[in-house]
Chain A
Amino acid sequence: MEQVIANGLYLGAQYALIALGLTLIFALMNVLNFAHGQMYVLGGFVTYEVYGLLHWPFVVALVASALTLAVLGALIERFLFRTVIKRSEREESTMLLAAGVAYFLDAAILLLFGEKQRGVHKILNGVFIWDNLILPWDRILVAGLAILFIVAFILMMQFTKPGRAMRALAQDRVAAQLMGVPVAFYGLIGFALGAMLAGLVGGLLVTITGVNSGIGGPISIKAFMMVMIGGAGVVGGAIAGGFILGMLESVGLTVLHAYGDITYLAIFVALMIFLAIRPNGLMGKPWG
């Protein structure tokens, strides 16, 4: 049982970090960023190139992933989403744009990095063994870093000027504008931050799970599940959704393994019932 709980917590930490960027972009701009998984993949490939091929320090690779995605996110917001939001009165236009960006990134990543699964050498060797519990040290480190990034993100949103501005923007865009918050600027910062988180977690996890050009879509779907569980646009909800999904997967795969692959079936059924009762998820929108 200790192993099952440890697996769930580890999965939850990485899932929560994946979901954070998605929920941030939704909260700030009301955009369902279908390209979030592709941004994760790109972050993974940047770390693969810098750490795996150039053999630069892992920290440098992580920073490179984060910066690359932050710049890409800012460009996508400035030249695509801002334009579409300004010109279109229909909210689904941004969804179509996000889907288009996802397809574009899928194709571009395949062309740039090829079709093969890529991985890097372990950042830490060895395994922690305690009674029935077995955890490789690199997973412990990655889970620790994921939790550290989540805490840093929450503190930034809570106590810094940009964080307060983005929270105001998420709560009420018009009121924030009337109070003198430069909404366009903080929208751009928020989108860049969301993309940066995707790149960061992609870079972090390439050391454990590797990366390939085809996993963007499935990552996005999982991130949406976490956001639906926790409540769209709520930071606490995304974190809770990540940990709940991680724990459900770990417990389900252990308890139900003798019945074949019904873990996700059970999770989806539970999710449908849950959403019928609480359509806004655990915490709903807006956060504050």
Chain B
Amino acid sequence: MRSRPSSFRFALLGLASVITLAAAAFPADAANKVLKIGFVGVTSGPAAAWGTSNVRSMQTLADWWNSTGGVKIGDDTYDIDVVTFDDQKDPKRAIAGMEKMAQEGIHYVVGPNVDDGAAAVRPVAEKSGIIYFPYAFPKELYTKPAANAVLGMVANYQSGPAIYKYLKENKGVKTIAFVAANESDPLSQRDGGVAAAKALGLDVVADKDTYQNDTRDFTPVLTPIVKLNPDLLVLSGVAPANAPLLIRSARELGYKGLISTETAQDAKVLEEGAGELANGFISVGGASTPEIRSKSMDEFIDRYTKKFGEYNDESNTKIYALQYIVDTLKADPKAIDSIDEFKKTMDSFSAPNPYLKDSSATLHYVGTTSFGQKRQLAVPLVVNEYEDGKFKTLFIANVD
């Protein structure tokens, strides 16, 4: 004789079986597919700010998309999974990171953040079928026969001439001095800047002054340069951690001229480190200022701040790489498994830029002028001037 508790247990088992079968019969409704996008860059040590703003931008954007149902590419909907690797600014580790991405079957990787890392990963990326988006400027990464690297930002040899020309025409700059950290990126940026300044007819009064990247007090470094009293002091490739210290030392030594850089900076860091001494400092930013950014960018900033406690102004540039990858895949879903498809699509790709107020602004690949092929993200070239804790837009330009 079957007892009541036994009947109840059978009923429960039956219900559980029905639910399990239903779940197995309709898996697509239960979860999206997963699209892995990689990041290989520096998130520890003195340059951690560069890579961290990359990773956090990617994670914020991925979380945003995932929480609103995922991204639809072709017939499928995907959740974005950001796979990260800290290369500690070491090319050997960058190679290991790119190999890890290849092992995980990832085809699209953001990073590395510096020149030698980006150059080091090239063979792995080309062998493994990976398109990567470095924040490094050597032209050979983007010119043929290289084909797998896509520059993620505006290069110094693109922004430098625009800034110097503007300052020459609008602020009467005639003499210019350069100071750079004794590392490959800043030195190559300095050399590019010197060439651009000379081409514009500016008098370069100092182009050999360098400093160790771990310098904490820049007064001895800047003493001889300030004595030359240039109209413009360029901090070539300066890291966000060093910019306020250099500005502060220069101003305290009595320097009254203009100071600029071609790298992106953070307003909060400038405010804390140099205060009002940083007023008038000119740097490159992304779609950063309230005058030009859209509501989507405002929401991104809000989500980023909620997730990580504090926003990083560099992320206005770093947000673009993941957006470009996903939008290009949307334009050509076959590119999910084929980077050749991706490369083909890059030539004709165009999509609305969600981060600019201007509704006619588009996401598209550029670089023909600098590299002879479209291997650069069209990020707006926004030149900012720091004023009392905020950046205000000085002018906006486009690459190509």
Contact = CB atoms under 8 A, between A and B. Distances in A.
Interface of A: 3-4, 7-8, 10-11, 14, 52, 106-107, 110, 114-122, 127, 129, 134, 136, 139, 205, 208-210, 212-215, 217-219, 249-250, 253-254, 257-261, 264
A261 B223 contact: no
Given A136-B252, A258-B208, A4 B220 contact: yes
A263 to B, nearest CB: 9
A110 B47 CA distance: 12
Interface in B179-214: 182, 208-212, 214
Interface residues of B, number: 41
Contacts of A257: 208-209, 221, 224-225
Nearest to B214: A218
Given A257-B224, A261-B182, A114 B216 contact: no
B271 to A, nearest CB: 9
Contacts of B220: 4, 7-8, 11, 249-250, 253-254
Nearest to B254: A134
Max chain B CB contacts within 10 Å: which of A129, A254, A259? A254
The 10 closest A-B pairs by CB, nearest first: A218-B214, A214-B46, A119-B273, A117-B241, A261-B210, A261-B182, A115-B48, A209-B216, A119-B272, A214-B45
Nearest to A120: B272
A208 B217 contact: yes
A121 B389 CA distance: 13
Given A115-B48, A117-B241, A127 B273 contact: no
Contact of A115 (B52, B182, B217, B273): B52
Given A4-B223, A116-B240, A119-B273, A110 B253 contact: no
A214 B47 contact: yes
Given A209-B217, A214-B48, A254-B223, A115 B43 contact: yes
Interface of B: 43-49, 52, 182, 208-212, 214, 216-217, 219-221, 223-225, 240-242, 244-245, 252-254, 266, 268-269, 272-275, 309-310, 312
A127 B209 CA distance: 25
9 contacts: A11-B217, A117-B49, A117-B240, A117-B241, A118-B272, A122-B275, A208-B217, A210-B244, A214-B48
Max chain A CB contacts within 10 Å: which of B47, B210, B240, B312? B210
Nearest to A53: B272
B46 to A, nearest CB: 4
Given A250-B220, A264-B212, A110 B272 contact: no
A201 B198 CA distance: 44
Contacts of B49: 115-117, 212
A217 B217 CA distance: 16
Contact of B210 (A106, A115, A208, A260): A260
A253 B242 CA distance: 17
B273 A210 contact: yes
B190 to A, nearest CB: 11
A257 B178 CA distance: 12
A262 to B, nearest CB: 9
B254 A210 contact: no
B46 A215 contact: yes
A184 B101 CA distance: 51
Given A4-B223, A254-B220, A260-B208, A116 B266 contact: yes
Contacts of B47: 214
Contacts of B224: 253-254, 257
Contacts of A117: 49, 240-242, 244, 269, 272-273
B45 A7 contact: no
Nearest to A3: B223
Given A116-B240, A210-B272, A110 B252 contact: no
A7 B43 contact: no
Max chain A CB contacts within 10 Å: which of B212, B252, B275? B252
Given A117-B241, A210-B272, A253 B221 contact: yes
B304 to A, nearest CB: 13
A127 B252 contact: yes
B135 to A, nearest CB: 15
B60 to A, nearest CB: 15
B241 A212 contact: yes
Contacts of B252: 127, 134, 136, 139
Given A121-B275, A260-B210, A7 B223 contact: yes
Given A4-B220, A110-B44, A214-B45, 18 more contacts: A7-B220, A14-B217, A52-B272, A114-B52, A117-B241, A119-B273, A119-B274, A127-B252, A127-B254, A209-B216, A214-B47, A217-B45, A253-B224, A254-B220, A254-B224, A259-B208, A260-B210, A261-B212
